[in-house]
Structure 1
Amino acid sequence: MIDDAERQMQFLYTLRSHGVTDARVLGAMETIDRGTFVRGLFAERAYEDTPLPIPCGQTISQPSVVGLMTQALNISPRDKILEVGTGSGYQAAILSKLARRVYTVDRFRRLVREAQAVFDELKLTNITAMTADGSHGLPEQAPFDRILVTAAAEDPPGTLLSQLRIGGIMVIPVGQSDTVQSLIRVTRSETGYDYEELRPVRFVPLVEGLGQD
């Protein structure tokens, strides 16, 4: 049996070996236990670097991808962040350790409810979770310093881009849902948007409307 300390060392080693080198991001991922967000059948695989199924046909992303997406946002402690796609709540919990305020939305009420229960358990008081159509963002709270989208769009949605502050960064997977997608970092400038391709990824598609669950 691997004890908790050794498992944690292996977990952090895997993150580093996949390019997650930012000390603040690694610290946040060490603090937030992925096992808290993986229930049921897959609980024993919570510390593997692999995506796992969660309710409503969604997934919890593999930790190295979570780390790389978080690192790409280059978060500062004063930032206000929008996350589109709460899922298990794991990514939002990590963001909450790095930013001033995190707004996270998901189209499935059940996922928001279950994630909120974990946030409460962990006393993460700077996260606001709500059921909403993430493709529309959260205009009433815009502009955001950072936006993270955990579902793939064919193109970065204009609605979300418009909710970025000047100098703000959005990280989003882009591509057709049934092929490999690219993780893109978009930086808003005074004159427009700069796009940078980071790496191939695979995410569930960004779907409009609310879910049935």
Structure 2
Amino acid sequence: MQIQACLEEYKLLKEYFEPDYKRRNKALITFKLKHPTLLDEHVYDLKKILDTKTVGPDQYFVADLLYLYRGFSRELFEPMINCAIIYREPSFSRIFLRPCMSTFGVKDVADLLTEKFLIGDFVTQIGISYLLYWLWHKDYEDVRRLYEVMIDYANRSNNIVEIYLYSLCFRSKLTYEGYIPNGASDLFKVTKGIPECEDLLKQLGWIRE
């Protein structure tokens, strides 16, 4: 069985995220039994699927499959992290992080996120902030630099959209003394008529009702 055939069977089943819940997905299990180790051609195909600007069932397939392959190729590490960053469902972004943390360790994941935060645009940085929930309970030393970099950035920002979003992660660490909106609805009220802030919200896909 090749990657494309397995992908099609996986999408027909529509049983996404099963490995994360320690449940069996027939398509994935069948592929793993036939291929105990991922071949170079598999890695190539999986990497190609991950190279995307949007995340959906095709990318879920790669993440779910990699739960079954502890020790997978490092060529898939950064593409998996990229998918975690651009995915806009914080509850399920873990499916791209957990296989990477199992194979490469929490510190490598946090270090790559730190690098991407330092060079990333606004949307990338906020995407990374959404991932912190899945790192809170790890060894602090593994994630310390990521936290420090993000807190430092937040404390140098004067943009209320950024301050609000970072307050969701680090409110007690912020030095900002002004008013911080209480929830998304309040944020929309505070930023109404401020083009710079409204543009940032649009970049995140936040639509004013």
Q: Give the TM-score range, shorter chain.
A: under 0.3
Higher strand proportion (structure 1 or 2)? 1
Higher helix proportion (structure 1 or 2)? 2
Select the structure with the greater relative contact order (CA < 8 A; seq sep ≥ 6): 1
Q: Rg bigger for which structure?
A: 2
Q: Normalised by the size of structure 2, how large is the TM-score?
A: 0.27
